[in-house]
Amino acid sequence: MSRKRLRYYWQIIVDIWYLFKQYSSPDGSNEFWAAYTAESDRLNEKYQQSEFYQDLARAVTKELLRIEKEGINK
């Protein structure tokens, strides 16, 4: 794999990490989820609906829902 392609994957992973970090304390509010969705959608556009990005974003969303449900961030 070329360095350019590896950097592309690396950047997706970095952006996913920052997405998770920024939204790692879900509070159950509509405002929280609207902001999270808007940022996730922005990144989806940035990566042109990449399947790799979408799979990682789904995993982050699932984890945030689990955190919210279990009250882990409290």
Q: What is the pLDDT of residues 10-24, one digit of tens each?
A: 999 999 999 999 999
**Confidence band (pLDDT; 50, 70, 90) for 40?**
very high
Percentage of the residues of the chain whose pLDDT score is greater than 70: 97
CB atoms within 10 A of CB 24: 13
Q: 13 Cβ partners below 8 Å, 6+ apart?
A: 56
Q: What is the pTM of this model?
A: 0.90
Residue whose entry in the numeric block shows the structure tokens 């974003």? 57
Q: What is the pLDDT of residue 13?
A: 99
**pLDDT class of 37 with cuts at 50, 70, 90:** very high
